[in-house]
Chains A and B, each alone.
Chain A
Amino acid sequence: MASKLSIHDWFKSKKDQKELKNTHEKLDIPGNLWVKCPKCGQTIYSKDLEENLKVCPKCSYHFRLTSAERIKQLVDDGTFIEINPNLYSKDFLNFDDTKPYADRIKDAMLKTNLKDAIATGICKIEQLEVALGIMDFSFMGGSMGSVVGEKFTRLAEAAIENKIPLVVFSASGGARMQESIISLMQMAKTSAVLGRLRENSIPYISVLTDPTTGGVSASFAMLGEINMAEQGALVAFAGPRVIEQTIRQKLPPGFQRAEYVLDHGMVDIVFHRKELKNNLVKILRFFKEEKKA
């Protein structure tokens, strides 16, 4: 189709593209009514996007979700009871890079209306009770400091205490550097509590969403009894840029995307967001049956 364009057609198509681009920009402005897909450039009416679970109807790009959005999509209405909602981060090292950590925390709180990068609670999904944790990439890149580590650990302990499955959605750039070694130790703490879960035969389902890297992938995100990854999510230990800089080679196509990670045996399931609930419920039912027997 595109093989034989006259010069006239070429100019015309360029002009159309330009106009289209301009319209996109215009449409972007009023009250976020329209959203542009970062992958295919499609303009989507934001209500349609929401109804489509924030997946681009044209190219299936999965937009990142906030914890509130994920809860709304997944959890039975009104059943989510947040636990440990009042934990917040402390700038105990007086860490100051280009901006004091204390200010970064404050700004992130204001920007996101969250206290830190994970929400935890007890809830029901299709009437099945679970201990649910959802990370928020919008809060300082979903980085894991003491608060994420502590809330994860307490959630896991609540799962053991209530004998209910643990489900955690991860989305994280890794450890929170401003908490230095203490953030590294959150990897030890969260992984250790998962050992206790296993001893108690409490299932843990890890759901890896875009992106799950660094200290979070190298601790609780990879330790699910079942590991599920959302379509297209970046799942990595070291980020692609670090690897490129180290080996000075171009990375293979699709490298570290959920599908690639599935091909290499690191996750059980890669799912389209529309199939998440269905898959999750089947898995939760499986474990529930198992416990009765």
Chain B
Amino acid sequence: MKNKEEKRQNLLPFEKIKLQPLFDKIDKLKSIQASGKMDMSEEIKMIERSIESARKEIFSNLAPMEVVQTARFINRPTTLEYIDSIFEDFVELHGDRNYADDPAMIAGIATLDGRSVVVLGHQKGHTTKENIARNFGMANPEGYRKALRIMRLAERYNKPIISFVDTSGAYPGIGAEERGQAEAIAKNLREMAELTVPFISVITGEGGSGGALGIAMGNRVLMLEFAIYSVISPEGCASILFRNAARASDAAKALKITAKNLLELGIIDDIIKESLGGAHNSLEFTSKNVKSAILKYLEPLLSLSQRELIADRYAKYRKMGIYCE
């Protein structure tokens, strides 16, 4: 029974019409099987295959707003899960040494295939309770300052930095404004450009504007297949530019926020394949791909000098911009 519920919750809204009946059928067959009355294993396998092919079809051609839903899905693996499955010896480090520890931002030390690295990233939750504790992954200035503190630590000891990006945006609150949200992000941007160590950023879920960029100025920026990265949420864009909040789907399309769009625009360096039906269907499969992508792009950076690393990163962002002259 519990298993059944979990499966239901694991379906995205746009999969439900097609897949819910199939999952219901499997559940029925399984209970028959369990009762020992009949052997249903063949039938179960058959339906599992049709679920798989239906999923393949659905996910081969998602509308941008469906990608947004996948990226925001409450079951989507979080930074701590990626850290747990990709790295060893993780020790979380807390606090900005100034005001507070921000639970919406994770930072720490770990090893990656035996190499010491620094990891950081936004942290969301899988339940409302967890999300409240994590402020829905929306960091305050302290989060950005903690991230910078740990990046500087990495630099002093010559350790590569891996950041995981998953936030709807930096938190828009009174305290955040009073303690300098704008300054915290701006400073991170300037300082990230100057880091003397290899730096890889992975957009795992929502790449929400300045709040995402505030930890995402890697030498290489990688992105999960169904993640998004945007200057504004489709809803925000719809209500401001389209003057109609209901036109979020149109805004999502116009903004070109999918991994494929961003690769074409030269913003990201590679797309990391997710498990069928999205990363939440197999953390193991997805994190394996994340790990091998990190290793693939980290390796060549390790042989660059400090100067070359800065020059490499600087050149990447310096050339961004499309205009007429």
Which residues of A come within 8 Å of B, CB atoms?
Answer: 84, 86-90, 92-93, 95-98, 145-147, 149-150, 153, 175, 177-189, 191-196, 198, 214-215, 217-223, 235-238, 242-243, 246-247, 249, 251-252, 255-256, 264-266
21 contacting pairs across A/B (C-beta < 8 A): A88-B324, A88-B325, A90-B322, A95-B254, A98-B241, A147-B321, A149-B320, A150-B321, A177-B232, A178-B241, A181-B265, A184-B209, A185-B317, A185-B320, A195-B193, A215-B210, A223-B187, A236-B177, A237-B170, A237-B177, A238-B177
- Among candidates B174, B313, B325, residue contacting A243 with C-beta atoms closer than 8 Å: B174
Closest-CB distance, B188 to chain A (whole angstroms):
8
A182 to B255, CA, bound (A): 10
- Asked whether A146 lies within 8 Å of B189 as measured between CB atoms, the reply is no
Closest-CB distance, A132 to chain B (whole angstroms):
20
Which residues of chain B are near A150, meaning CB under 8 Å? 321, 323
A171 to B48, CA, bound (A): 57
| B231 contacts chain A at the CB level, 8 A cutoff | yes
Tally B residues with Cβ within 8 Å of A.
54
- Asked whether B177 lies within 8 Å of A243 as measured between CB atoms, the reply is yes
Closest-CB distance, B250 to chain A (whole angstroms):
8
A215 to B171, CA, bound (A): 14
| B262 contacts chain A at the CB level, 8 A cutoff | yes
- Asked whether A182 lies within 8 Å of B318 as measured between CB atoms, the reply is no
Which residues of chain A are near B256, meaning CB under 8 Å? 93, 180-181
Give the A-B pair count, Cβ closer than 8 A: 187
- Among candidates A86, A177, A181, A194, residue contacting B190 with C-beta atoms closer than 8 Å: A194
A92 to B255, CA, bound (A): 11
- Asked whether B317 lies within 8 Å of A238 as measured between CB atoms, the reply is no
A59 to B262, CA, bound (A): 49
Q: Interface-forming stretch among B14-22, B79-87, B178-186, B299-307?
A: B178-186
A194 to B193, CA, bound (A): 10
- Asked whether A146 lies within 8 Å of B321 as measured between CB atoms, the reply is yes
Q: Mark B173-210, 1 if CB is under 8 A from A, else 0.
A: 11011111111011101110110000000000000011
- Asked whether A192 lies within 8 Å of B318 as measured between CB atoms, the reply is yes
- Asked whether B317 lies within 8 Å of A192 as measured between CB atoms, the reply is yes
